[in-house]
Amino acid sequence: MTDLILYNTLSRKKETFSPINPGKVGMYVCGPTVYGHAHLGHARPAITFDVLFRYLKKCGYKVRYVRNITDVGHLEADADSGDDKIAKKAVLEQLEPMEIVQLYTDSYHRSMEFLNVRKPSIEPRASGHIIEQQEMVQKILDEGYAYESNGSVYFDVKKYDNNHNYGKLSGRVLEDLITTTRELDGQQEKRNPFDFAIWKKANPEHLMQWTSKWSEGFPGWHLECSAMSTKYLGKEFDIHGGGMDLLFPHHECEIAQSRIANGRHSVKHWIHNNMITINGQKMGKSLGNFITLDELFSGTHNTLEKAYSPMTIRFFILQAHYRSTLDFSNEALQAAEKGYLRLMKAWDILQKCKPGKESSLSVQQLEDRCSTAINDDLNTPILIAQLFEGVKWINLLIEGKESLTESDLIKLKSLFEKYLFNVLGLKDEQTASSNDGLTPQLIDLLLSIRQEAKANKDFARSDQIRDQLTGLGIKIKDSKEGSSWEM
């Protein structure tokens, strides 16, 4: 088998993946800030790293996958307030901050389950790791890379840059940052504008705050990932993932903090997924151009022409490479839906294929191509293209135009099982949802009456049943084996 190659943002090159501890992989991915329902953009890293998680396990690694929930620490964008984003929303909605956190965490989990995203091994919350974060602040202070100012503690970026290299991940140069850093709250307290808070003193009305030796306050946002990754994965671990928008400053700051607190560079392999765009622009909270996953699943958003199933969304995302931007449109989503259904249908047909005396197709070659694709920096679009090649084969097999021996047929089935279901994490939505309630039985009954009419050449009657069912939104599909339907 070929080696797994992954692009490393740190080196800007594709690198052969080899874990620090043989057979074991530690992976940390930045999870959501739970102050709103998850939108399409949140699905991208979740699915990208889900595929990596699944594939690493398939390769036989023991993987510890940590994905956090950010429930404290973000400063409000408006410089006047300085409030925690979650606390702000709580005041607005007259709820306890933790109630908001619970509401949206549950919502996130539900969406992830719909998308067939596996749960991470550990899902730590920032609010549950205040002690660890305070310890890290102290450690950085002890090392002399942070200073206290009016109850807040700031990371001394300039000092860090003298001895290490601040900006190595994002390709930034400190001198440039001096001129481009924006004015923020607490700027007067800092030695340099690019210094960032690792502990922030809270206003009295601030709802989420904790006691510390510096002030009643809360940890800086960047700190939580450093603290929690260290706690669960150690001072050095294999993979750190997240969205490209987190590259600077979040991940850059994380590198600096961990370097000082842990005495070494913590992350070996940085992986970043690109953004989902809508009309060519990044989909995001601040632009207000996002569509939540719930809205996609139910079709309740004015830009949506219809509802799109979770597997359609998953397939849509996997059809693009994770490092490319992916543009949302109804047309693209509907294309994805058709493609996904075609794959599922082929899987169904494959179960009915009978073995032949010899093989006219090379399953091994297809397997090799699939393996090459996924190993090449998780090239899921190529992998999917290979699976469509398999779809074509399956359709020719059932028609008797190609043949496979019994062992090759089994091999093809396990190839689909491995890549389509286990690695890409798709599942068949059709079979799961179509057999509940009385309606399906009633439709089947009507179809059998229609079948009878057709047999008697009473086409007026059979067309009447078809047209009226169509009017009710039920699509009839005739084939040699009989009629089927879908809503």
Partner RNA sequence: GGUCUCGUGGCCGAGCGGCUAGGCGGCGGUCUGCAAAACCGUAUACAGCGGUUCGAAUCCGCUCGAGACCUCCA
Q: How far is the CB of 171 from RNA (least distance, A)?
A: 4
Which CB sits closer to RNA, 142 or 467?
467
Which CB sits closer to RNA, 266 or 273?
273
Which CB sits closer to RNA, 42 or 64?
42
Size of the site for RNA (CB under 7 A): 89
Q: Which stretch binds RNA (CB under 7 A): 54-62, 115-123, 374-382, 405-413?
A: 374-382
Q: How far is the CB of 126 from RNA (least distance, A)?
A: 10
Among 20, 335, 469, 474, binds RNA (CB under 7 A): 335
Does the protein bind RNA through residue 142 (CB under 7 A)? Answer: no
Residues, the chain, total?
487
Among 60, 288, 480, 481, binds RNA (CB under 7 A): 480
Does the protein bind RNA through residue 310 (CB under 7 A)? Answer: no
Does the protein bind RNA through residue 475 (CB under 7 A)? Answer: yes
Per-residue interface string for the shown chain with RNA, residues 208-227, x marking contact by CB under 7 A: -------------x------
Per-residue interface string for the shown chain with RNA, residues 87-126, x marking contact by CB under 7 A: ----------------------------------------
Is the Cα torsion angle 125, 131, 132, 137 positive or negative in sign?
Answer: positive
Q: How far is the CB of 60 from RNA (least distance, A)?
A: 25
Restricted to residues 409-468, the positions that interact with RNA (CB under 7 A) are 454, 459, 462-463, 466
Structure tokens at 292: 């939540």
Q: How far is the CB of 110 from RNA (least distance, A)?
A: 16
Does the protein bind RNA through residue 391 (CB under 7 A)? Answer: yes
Restricted to residues 276-295, the positions that interact with RNA (CB under 7 A) are 276-277, 280-286
Which CB sits closer to RNA, 141 or 244?
244
Q: How far is the CB of 324 from RNA (least distance, A)?
A: 3
Among 140, 384, 404, 447, binds RNA (CB under 7 A): 384
Does the protein bind RNA through residue 396 (CB under 7 A)? Answer: yes
Restricted to residues 148-207, the positions that interact with RNA (CB under 7 A) are 170-172, 176-177, 179-182, 184, 196
Which CB sits closer to RNA, 261 or 387?
387
Which CB sits closer to RNA, 21 or 187?
187
Structure tokens at 442: 């009633």
DSSP at 128: G
**Helical H segments across 59-152, by residue range:** 85-93, 97-114, 130-142
Among 24, 62, 338, 354, binds RNA (CB under 7 A): 338
SS3 for the chain is: CCCCEEEECCCCEEEECCCCECCEEEEEECCCECCCCCEHHHHHHHHHHHHHHHHHHHCCCEEEEEECEECCCCECCCCCCCCEHHHHHHHHHCCCHHHHHHHHHHHHHHHHHHCCCCCCCECCEHHHHHHHHHHHHHHHHHCCCEEEECCEEEECHHHHHHHCCCCCCCCCCHHHHHHHCCCCCCHHHCCCCCCEEEEEECCCCCCCCECCCCCCEEECHHHHHHHHHHHHHCCCEEEEEEEHHHHHHHHHHHHHHHHHHHCCCCEEEEEEECCEEECCEECCCCCCCCCEHHHHHHCCCCCCCCCCCHHHHHHHHHCCCCCCCEEECHHHHHHHHHHHHHHHHHHHHHHHCCCCCCCCCCHHHHHHHHHHHHHECCCHHHHHHHHHHHHHHHHHHHCCCCCCCHHHHHHHHHHHHHHHHHHCCCCCHHHHHCCCCCHHHHHHHHHHHHHHHHHCCCHHHHHHHHHHHHHCCCEEEEECCEEEEEC
Which CB sits closer to RNA, 395 or 422?
395
User: 486 pairs with which residues across the strands?
Assistant: 475
Among 95, 98, 174, 247, binds RNA (CB under 7 A): 247
Which CB sits closer to RNA, 40 or 61?
40
Q: How far is the CB of 125 from RNA (least distance, A)?
A: 14
Does the protein bind RNA through residue 399 (CB under 7 A)? Answer: yes
Which CB sits closer to RNA, 56 or 169?
169
Among 392, 448, 452, 482, binds RNA (CB under 7 A): 392
Among 11, 21, 324, 448, binds RNA (CB under 7 A): 324
DSSP at 4: P
Per-residue interface string for the shown chain with RNA, residues 54-93, x marking contact by CB under 7 A: ----------------x---xx-x-------x--------
Half-sphere exposure of 31 (CA within 13 A, CB side): 29
Which CB sits closer to RNA, 19 or 107?
107
Name the 3-class secondary structure at 134: helix
Which CB sits closer to RNA, 44 or 269?
44
Separation CA 147–CA 154 (nearest Å): 6
